[in-house]
């Protein structure tokens, strides 16, 4: 007698092809991403508001501090991975961040308008947000195989986008009544839920490993030996990983161009901290609604029909068109639309597509080299593009110069996307260890 699928399996099956043994793991991953990104998007408008408190004209200084701290934290994380079992490291990161949030809550209650406290929170969040997302997707690449990821990652990413819808709504609803500091406690409660979900998903990974030969066969009951710079060494030894680093670098250059434009517009338009936080949250809400729709109904089908290479190439093509349009006819509306398009395509297409690439690398590369790419390389992209834009502004190039820079970056990004997608196709059917070289 054939067992009928559970209601949960039928619900998930409406949008994604899921096997019976995968249902619980996929549901937990979706919920994990929902809570994580919900908490992230409660804190993101607070971070962007702190940038306006510190001063928009000094953004490059904030980006410099972020990069320096990230460069220190990446080897610290690798050192922790070499000393702690992965089963302890994954929830331990979130316990540490929860304690950090409580400290910032107390400090904001004492000095809410302090410029250097604003800078400290900006640096802290700008560093930890990358670690949060990197750790989540590293864990996903350690649970699901390449074949599973092609089917399931768009749906799992949709969990993050729906959580990212809830986060700005919570910020909008509560910012006026509980203030910026109160939002930190709400996000902290989300981190506590994330810790519980990590433990549940780790148990499910073990079940999948036993029941499904297609799933990743790695375990979490061990540490990852190596010195703190092991992630950098792995990156430099692998052409595949170096291509992924180039993809990330160019993606952040484009994002930074539009972030500067958006932050400047909002700082000039909204005078108060709460109104700025709400304005950032409104933009986040629109972006994340569009991202969720694409992830639930579109990306999975694109991946299965056209492959990873096409999905990697789509965002650079869109960004080249957006930069060209602004260069030809600059306007407030077009800049906002381009920033929204950049974020939607990055979150709904580029990010989940590039995460699939890490399913074909070994566990050391997943937890160490990927972490370097997702944090240090990402923030180097922020830093370098921030200072390039500041230099162009000082030299009088203005908006037209920034858009010309954006078109050139998009062209390079597209070339890297094609090379990266083709290399992934050759590695996809090989054992994980083969992808490390």
How many helices (H) does the chain have, and how many strands (E)?
A: 17, 0
Q: Among candidates 405, 251, 240, 244, which has minimal Cα distance to 315?
A: 251
Burial (CB count within 10 angstroms: exposed 0-12, middle 13-18, buried 19+), residue 329: exposed
What is the mean pLDDT of the segment spanning 130-145?
91
Q: Give the alpha-carbon dihedral of 161, 164, 169, 170, to 10 degrees.
A: 140
pLDDT at 273: 61
Q: How many CB atoms lie within 10 A of CB 7?
A: 8
Q: Flag whether pLDDT at 141 surpasses 50.
A: yes
What is the mean pLDDT of the segment spanning 135-155?
89
CA angle (60, 169, 165) in 5-degree steps: 80
DSSP 8-state class, residue 432: G
What are the tokens at 70?
């990230």
Q: Flag whether pLDDT at 261 surpasses 80.
A: no
* pLDDT, the chain, mean: 84
Cα Rg of the chain, angstroms = 21
Q: What class does CATH assign to 18-213+229-436? A: mainly alpha
- pLDDT band for position 300 (cuts 50, 70, 90): low
Identify which has the larger pLDDT, 342 or 277. 342
pLDDT tens readout for residues 51-63: 777 765 666 678 7
Q: How far apart (Å, rounded) are the C-alpha atoms in residues 162 and 347?
A: 12
What are the tokens at 7?
């209601």
pLDDT at 430: 42
Q: Flag whether pLDDT at 196 surpasses 70.
A: yes
Q: Flag whether pLDDT at 124 surpasses 70.
A: yes
List C-alpha distances in Å: 222 to 75, 81, 87, 204, 362.
Answer: 19, 9, 8, 17, 14
- Helices (DSSP H) in 374-397: which residue ranges? 378-394
Q: How many CB atoms lie within 10 A of CB 111?
A: 11
Task: Give the domain ranges of the chain.
Answer: 18-213+229-436
pLDDT tens readout for residues 154-173: 889 889 888 988 887 888 78
List C-alpha distances in Å: 84 to 222, 224, 226, 373, 375.
Answer: 7, 8, 12, 21, 20
pTM above 0.75, yes or no: yes
pLDDT at 420: 92
Please answer whether residues 170 and 38 qualify as being in contact, where contact means their C-beta atoms are separated by less than 8 angstroms. Answer: yes
Q: How far apart (Å, rounded) are the C-alpha atoms in residues 379 and 160?
A: 22
Q: How far apart (Å, rounded) are the C-alpha atoms in residues 121 and 46?
A: 9
Please answer whether residues 66 and 126 qualify as being in contact, where contact means their C-beta atoms are separated by less than 8 angstroms. Answer: yes
Q: How far apart (Å, rounded) are the C-alpha atoms in residues 164 and 286?
A: 10
Helix axes 378-394, 59-83, angle to 10 degrees: 170
């Amino acid at each position: 007698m054939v067992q009928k699928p559970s209601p949960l399996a039928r619900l998930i099956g409406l949008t994604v092809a899921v096997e019976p043994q995968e249902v619980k793991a996929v549901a937990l991953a979706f919920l994990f991403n929902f809570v994580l990104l919900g908490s992230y998007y409660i804190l993101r408008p607070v971070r962007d508001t702190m940038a306006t408190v510190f001063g928009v004209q000094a953004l490059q200084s904030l980006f410099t501090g972020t990069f320096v701290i990230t460069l220190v934290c990446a080897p610290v994380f690798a050192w922790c991975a070499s000393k702690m079992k992965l089963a302890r490291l994954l929830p331990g990161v979130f316990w540490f961040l929860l304690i950090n949030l409580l400290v910032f809550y107390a400090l904001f209650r004492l000095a809410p308008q302090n410029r250097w406290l604003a800078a400290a929170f900006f640096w802290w969040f700008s560093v930890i947000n990358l670690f949060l997302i990197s750790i989540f997707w590293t864990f996903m690449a350690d649970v699901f195989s390449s074949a599973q990821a092609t089917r399931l990652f768009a749906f799992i990413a949709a969990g993050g986008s729906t959580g990212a819808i809830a986060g700005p709504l919570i910020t909008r609803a509560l910012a006026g009544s509980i203030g910026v500091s109160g939002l930190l406690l709400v996000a902290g409660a989300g981190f506590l839920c994330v810790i519980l979900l990590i433990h549940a998903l780790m148990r499910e990974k073990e079940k999948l490993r036993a029941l499904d030969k297609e799933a990743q066969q790695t375990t979490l009951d061990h540490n990852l030996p190596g010195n703190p710079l092991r992630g950098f060494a792995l990156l430099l030894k692998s052409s595949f990983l170096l291509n992924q680093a180039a993809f990330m670098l160019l993606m952040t250059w484009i994002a930074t161009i539009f972030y500067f434009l958006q932050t400047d517009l909002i700082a000039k338009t909204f005078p108060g901290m709460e109104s700025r936080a709400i304005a950032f949250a409104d933009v986040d809400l629109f972006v994340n609604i569009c991202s969720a729709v694409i992830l639930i109904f579109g990306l999975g089908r694109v991946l299965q029909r056209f492959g990873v290479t096409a999905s990697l190439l789509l965002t650079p093509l869109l960004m080249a068109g957006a930069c060209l349009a602004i260069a030809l006819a600059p306007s407030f509306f077009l800049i906002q639309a381009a920033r929204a398009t950049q974020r939607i395509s990055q979150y709904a297409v580029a990010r989940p597509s590039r995460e699939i690439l890490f399913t074909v690398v070994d566990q050391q590369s997943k937890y160490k080299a990927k972490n370097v790419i997702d944090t240090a390389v990402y923030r180097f992209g922020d830093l370098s593009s921030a200072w390039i834009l500041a230099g162009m502004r000082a030299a009088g190039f203005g908006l037209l110069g920034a858009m010309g820079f954006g078109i050139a970056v998009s062209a390079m990004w597209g070339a890297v996307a094609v090379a990266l997608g083709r290399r992934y196709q050759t590695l996809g059917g090989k054992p994980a260890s083969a992808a490390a070289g």
